[in-house]
Structure 1
Amino acid sequence: MLEVDREQVLAYRIAAHGLHREEKDPAAAAVFDLGLQDSVRDTALLGLAARIDGEIRPAVWDDDRFVLAWTHRGAPHFHRRTELDAIRAALVPLDEKDAMARILWQRKQVEDAGMSATDALFTAAKAIREVVTGAQTKGTVSGAVTKLIPDGLSYACRGCGVVHIYEQLMRVASIHAGVRLEAGATPATLAPLEGRGRIKTSPNVKAATRVIEDYLRINGPATPGDAAAYAGTTRAGVDAMWPDGLAEIRVDGRTAYLPEDRVPLLEKPPEPDVVRLLPPLDPFVQARDRAVLVPDKARQKEVWKILGSPGALLADGEIAGVWRAKASGRKRLDFTVTPFEVLRPAVRKAAEAEAARVAAAREFPDHRVTFS
C-alpha cells in the first residue's frame, strides 16, 4: 500500500484541479468532470480564471457548451451541456434513505408529507415541470408550484408570511423536472432545458458511481465518508455507488482511495509552486477532508466561515491565507489578503498579479491590494 503525507496529497490535487494553468479551453477544465459550483458572486468565473491560461470574462457563460443547474446537494453548478443528462441520471436516489438524505428530510417530514421522500421528490418534479415553460424567477415558480403540490411538501415561512415548497426539495427536484438556471440572472431565474425528455425515476447506479469516481479523481485520495458528504447522501448509501478499480492509499496513517490510473501522478506530482486566489466555494476547498487541506483548527474557521466565507490564498502547496475583495465604485476592486504567516516577497508579488487577474475577470479596470 502506498503511503503519502498530506503535502503530497495537496500537490496531487493542485495538479488534478488544473491549477498549474496549462489548459486554454475552458470546457476542457478538469473541474467540469464533476461540476463547477457557482453559489457566490462570480465563484465559477474566478474558479476558471485560476485554472485557464488566457483571458476569462463573464461572457464565458454565453458559450452554449455550458449549462447552469441545481445539481450536487441542490447547489448551482455549471456543467458541460453534453454531460447534463448523465448528471441528472446520477442524481436519481438509489433508495429511500438516499432520497431522504438528498432532500435533507428526517422521518418527521416524511410522516407530515404522507408519502415517501422518493415520491415527494418526483411529485415536486412533475409540478415544477408543469410550471416552468419559460424563463421565470425562482419566487414566481415557488409560488405556482406550491399551489400544485400536497400541503405536506410545503411549509409556512415566518420571514415572509407565505407558504412555500421546501427549498431543498425544489432545488433537488428541478433537475429531474428538466429545468436549468439562467447564468448571471438576479434574482435566480429558472428556464426549461432545451429538448428535455420525460422525467426518469429509475435509479442509475453506473451514473451515480461515475460521480463518486470523479470526486475521488479530483479530490482524492479520499474516504467513502468524504465522497458521501460531497454527493449529499449517507455513508451507507455511498457503498452502493462505490467504484471498482481503486487503490488504497495511506495518508498520514488514514486509509483513503484513489483511482488506480491516478497513482503515478500521486507518486510524482509536479512541484506545487503556484500562487492562486481561489474564490469562496472553489472546488479545491470543497474537498470534505478539511483537516488535510488545513490542519490547524483556528485556520479552518477562517477559511470555512458559516456565513460569508472568504477566498483562499494558495501558495507553496498550502492554503496560506484568505482574501476578500470589495468594489470601490464601478472601476476599482479593493483586495485584502490576510496570510496565515509572513509571505515571501515572490509570493506577495505573485498574489498581486493574481489580484489583477481577478479584477480583469470581473471587468474592473483598476484594483488595489492590501496585505493585512
Structure 2
Amino acid sequence: MSSATSLTQVANFRWHRHQLDRAVAGDANHSDCSILDLGIQNTGPDGAAWALRIRGVRVDATELALAWTLRGAPHYYRRGDLPAVAAATSPFSEADAAKRIYDANRPLKAAGIPTLTALQTVAAAMRDIVSKPTVKGEMSAQLTTRVTEPYLRFCRPCHATHLYEMPFRLAALQAGLELQPNTSPPVLERIPGWRRRPFSATDADADSRFDVIRGYLRFYGPATPAHVASFLDAPVKDVKAHWPVDAEEIEVNGEKRWILEQDREDLFGSPTDSSTRLLGPFDPYVQLKDRETLVPDPTAQKTVWPTLGRPGTVVVGGTITGLWRPRASGKKLKVAITPWGTWSRSARAAVAEQAEILAEFRGVELSELVEVS
C-alpha cells in the first residue's frame, strides 16, 4: 500500500467535497454545487432544498429537475444534465438490473423475460401513457392493463394488483419522465425535448463527471467497491469490473481503500473547518456506506440511522456532535437537540444560529431550542 490517511483527514476531505464549509448565506448557483452531479435525495420535510441551502446555493426551481434514480429514490439534478444522468444511473449489466429490482425479478426470470428487456417494456409503456401530467396511481392502473402477469403482483395494502415498485421507479427517467416537485401522490410528466431510447446506454457510456462509481469516490472516498455497490444496490462484481483505472490504493484505519488520483492532494490537504451545520436526515453527507468511519460506535450508529424515523445530525467540521429533530406547531418551530457529550456555550450558540436559519428557511419563527436525551 502506497500510503495511509487518518480518519480526521477523511472527514476534512469529505466535508470540503460536500461544500459544507461554505457560508450558508452564500449566493452560489447550481453549476457551483458539485453534489448535484451525483444527485441530492429529496426525502423528508426539508429535503434537497435544505441540503442546497446549507451549501450556500441559491435555489432556482427552473434549473432543477426531480427524478427517481439511485435506489429508486427521488433525486434532484440540474435539468440540463438529465440525459447524462439517465446513462450514468442505468444498470451495468443484466445481473445488475436484476439486483436493483429486488423481488420483482423472480417472476420475470421464471417466465424467461430478461430484466433489461422488461425494464424497456415498462419504460415504453410509461412514456406512452404520460401524454400529460399523470398521477402515479393512474399511471399504475393503466400499466397493469398493458403488461403480462410476470410484471405484476398483488399488493395487500392497496388490495389491488399492479406493477412491482422498483421497475416502475427505475424505468421512469429512462422513459423521459420527471416528477413534479411537492406532489403527493407523485405526479409524473414528460421531460421537454427528450429523445433517448430507454436503457440504450449504461454507466460505462456515461460522461465521467456523472459516472456513479467515480462520483461516490469523489464525495465519499477513500472507499471500497463494496461501499459503492451498497450505495448503488449493484453487484460488487459489476462495480469491480467498472472500477476507475486512475483509482489509487490508500489505507484507512488498516483497511485497503481507493481514492481517485486527482483527489489525492485534497485528501491530504483539505483544511480543518469549524462550521456548524444542521444536516437533514437524508443529507448527502450522511448517505455514506462506511458509517463506522463517521460514527465508530455501533450503538451511536443506530441512533443516527435507525430503521424508521431518522433524526437530523448536528455536524461540526465533518464530525457529528449531536442529533436534532424539528417540532413544528403552526407558525412556530421548536428544535429538539441531543448533544453527544458536553457542548460549550459557543457550540450551543452556533447550533442556535443554525436553528434560526432553519426557521427562516421554513418561513416560521423559532420558538425554542430544547435539549432532550
State the SS of the aligned residue for 2:307.
Answer: coil
How many matched pairs? Answer: 365
Q: Equivalences for 1:129-144 in 2 at 5 Å?
A: 129-144=127-142
- What CA distance in whole angstroms lies between the structure 2 residues aligned with 1:191 and 1:348? 45
Kindly indicate whether residue 347 of structure 2 is the aligned counterpart of residue 347 of structure 1. Answer: yes
TM-score of the two chains, using structure 2 as the length reference: 0.93
Deviation at 1:107, TM superposition (A): 5.9
- What CA distance in whole angstroms lies between the structure 2 residues aligned with 1:241 and 1:117? 20
Match for residue 201 of structure 1? Answer: 199
Match for residue 101 of structure 1? Answer: 99
Q: Equivalences for 1:259-270 in 2 at 5 Å?
A: 259-270=260-271
Deviation at 1:316, TM superposition (A): 4.8
Structure 1 portions without partners, runs of 5+: none
Q: Equivalences for 1:161-172 in 2 at 5 Å?
A: 161-172=159-170
Would you say the 8 A contact 1:113–1:151 is kept in 2?
A: no
Q: Equivalences for 1:49-60 in 2 at 5 Å?
A: 49-52=53-56, 60=59
Task: Give the aligned CA root-mean-square deviation in angstroms.
Answer: 1.7
Q: 1:156 to 1:61 in 2, by over 3 A?
A: farther
Would you say the 8 A contact 2:230–2:289 is kept in 1?
A: yes
Structure 2 portions without partners, runs of 5+: none
Q: 1:214 to 1:128 in 2, by over 3 A?
A: same
Q: In the TM superposition, what whole-angstrom CA distance separates every residue of 1:189-224 from its partner, at most 9, and x where no partner exists?
A: 111111111424333313186221111001111111
Match for residue 153 of structure 1? Answer: 151
- What CA distance in whole angstroms lies between the structure 2 residues aligned with 1:317 and 1:211? 23
Instruction: Give the alignment partner of residue 27 of structure 2, picking from 13, 24, 27.
Output: 24
Match for residue 257 of structure 2? Answer: 256
Match for residue 218 of structure 1? Answer: 219
Q: 1:146 to 1:114 in 2, by over 3 A?
A: farther
- What CA distance in whole angstroms lies between the structure 2 residues aligned with 1:305 and 1:104? 22
Would you say the 8 A contact 1:49–1:358 is kept in 2?
A: no
Match for residue 246 of structure 1? Answer: 247
Match for residue 356 of structure 1? Answer: 356
% same residue: 35
Match for residue 128 of structure 1? Answer: 126
Deviation at 1:172, TM superposition (A): 0.5
Match for residue 46 of structure 2? Answer: 42
Q: In the TM superposition, what whole-angstrom CA distance separates every residue of 1:37-95 from its partner, at most 9, and x where no partner exists?
A: 10222211111122116xx6xxx352x22110001111100001121111101233232
Code of the aligned partner of 1:12 = F
- What CA distance in whole angstroms lies between the structure 2 residues aligned with 1:74 and 1:26? 27
- What CA distance in whole angstroms lies between the structure 1 residues aligned with 2:98 and 2:367? 46
Would you say the 8 A contact 1:359–1:367 is kept in 2?
A: no
Code of the aligned partner of 1:359 = A
Q: Equivalences for 1:77-88 in 2 at 5 Å?
A: 77-88=75-86
Deviation at 1:269, TM superposition (A): 1.3
TM-score of the two chains, using structure 1 as the length reference: 0.94
Q: 1:200 to 1:252 in 2, by over 3 A?
A: same
Kindly indicate whether residue 335 of structure 2 is the aligned counterpart of residue 335 of structure 1. Answer: yes
Code of the aligned partner of 2:7 = R
Would you say the 8 A contact 1:40–1:280 is kept in 2?
A: yes
